[in-house]
């Protein structure tokens, strides 16, 4: 910590080094994260209105009870979980397939990666707007071509909205899976594959017995990162469907946003945030422990 007490100080360290090096960051964090932490806790236990933000009325756990009894909350939890699982699995499969297909090409020409990584540079919100343009009934390329093949449905209606927002997420972030998996794939020692081939192993058994087992840690870590990122999805869904039709594509992030800004139910919205925080911490701890054990075993 930033104590200037001098215990454990390095011989060359100035008396105030810890303070001026770490102090600004600590102050910044205390102000900008400390307040939100306290505010979240207090407001989640209070009834409060936009007109009296500084005079919250204590209501105990009422807000939590309200949220936990709200079917829309559970709908949002369900959507986020389903969405995260579906897009994570799709990204891993697609990313791995692309790595296997493209490694010989990219190994010799690193610059090809630049074009594969581009989608990640695009703001998800702007990507959402671009798809609005592409999905527009009158000028959009997608409906126009779909009409040519005889499909006249709307890709943002109740039947298709989930698929549409999931496909967009997969297309934007599969490059991340390619990047992460390619690094791991290229780290597999060539001699290992050579030796197996000399012993008469076919392509499939090399993949099955050498490549796949060695890729498991990278697949797990990549999947973990993509899962937590897509579980909190907000931007492109908000822009494309606003969580609709109805609440069909309402992720937990959108649920919290709507509850606060559109319905102005501050207490329940904050309580939902706290539940999300709690769930995140629990899930993170569990997965971390799991992965640590996995990487040792």
Give the span between the Cα atoms of 185 and 13, in whole angstroms. 43
Mark residues 253-292: x for contact with other proteins by CB under 8 A, - for none. Answer: x--xx--xx----x--xx--xx-xx--x---x--------
Question: Which residue lies nearer to other proteins by CB, 9 or 197?
Answer: 9
Q: Which residues contact 23 (CB under 8 A, 6 or more apart)?
A: 2
User: Which part of the chain contacts other proteins (CB under 8 A), choosing from 31-39, 66-74, 81-89, 192-200?
Assistant: 31-39
Question: Which residue lies nearer to other proteins by CB, 24 or 153?
Answer: 24
Question: Which residue lies nearer to other proteins by CB, 1 or 69?
Answer: 1
Site for other proteins in 104-163 (CB under 8 A): 104-105, 110-127, 129-134, 136, 138-139, 141, 144-145, 148
Which two tokens mark 54? Answer: 């500084």
- DSSP characters for 20-63? HHHHHHHHHHIIIIIHHHHHHHHHHTEE--GGGTT--EE-TTHH
Mark residues 197-226: x for contact with other proteins by CB under 8 A, - for none. Answer: ------------------------x---x-
21 contacts other proteins (rule: CB under 8 A): yes
H or E, element range at 130: helix 124-135
Handedness of CA 5, 11, 15, 18 (dihedral sign): negative
Question: Which residue lies nearer to other proteins by CB, 163 or 280?
Answer: 280
Question: Which residue lies nearer to other proteins by CB, 210 or 260?
Answer: 260
Rounded to 10°, the helix 71-108/161-186 angle is 40
Site for other proteins in 54-113 (CB under 8 A): 54, 98, 101-102, 104-105, 110-113
CA Rg, the chain, in Å? 25
């Amino acid at each position: 910590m930033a104590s200037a007490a001098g215990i454990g100080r390095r011989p060359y360290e100035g008396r105030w080094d810890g303070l001026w090096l770490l102090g600004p960051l600590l102050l910044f964090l205390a102000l900008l994260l400390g307040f939100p932490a306290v505010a979240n806790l207090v407001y989640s236990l209070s009834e409060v209105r936009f007109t009296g933000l500084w005079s919250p009325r204590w209501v105990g756990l009422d807000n939590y009870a309200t949220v936990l009894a709200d079917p829309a909350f559970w709908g949002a939890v369900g959507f986020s979980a389903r969405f995260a699982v579906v897009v994570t699995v799709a990204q891993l499969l697609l990313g791995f397939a692309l790595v296997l297909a493209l490694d010989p090409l990219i190994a010799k020409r690193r610059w090809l990666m630049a074009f594969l990584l581009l989608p990640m540079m695009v703001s998800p919100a702007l990507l959402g707007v671009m798809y609005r343009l592409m999905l527009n009934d009158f000028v959009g390329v997608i409906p126009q071509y779909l009409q040519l093949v005889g499909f006249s449905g709307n890709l943002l209606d109740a039947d298709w909205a989930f698929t549409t927002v999931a496909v967009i997420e997969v297309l934007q972030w599969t490059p991340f899976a390619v990047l992460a998996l390619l690094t791991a794939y290229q780290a597999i020692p060539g001699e290992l594959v050579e030796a197996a081939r000399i012993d008469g192993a076919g392509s499939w058994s090399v993949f099955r017995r050498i490549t796949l087992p060695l890729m498991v840690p990278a697949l797990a870590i990549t999947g973990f990162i993509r899962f937590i990122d897509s579980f909190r999805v907000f931007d492109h869904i908000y822009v494309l469907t606003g969580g609709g039709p109805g609440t069909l594509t309402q992720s937990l992030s959108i649920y919290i946003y709507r509850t606060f800004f559109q319905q102005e139910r501050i207490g329940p919205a904050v309580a939902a945030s706290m539940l999300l925080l709690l769930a995140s911490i629990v899930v993170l701890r569990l997965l971390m422990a799991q992965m640590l054990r996995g990487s040792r075993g």
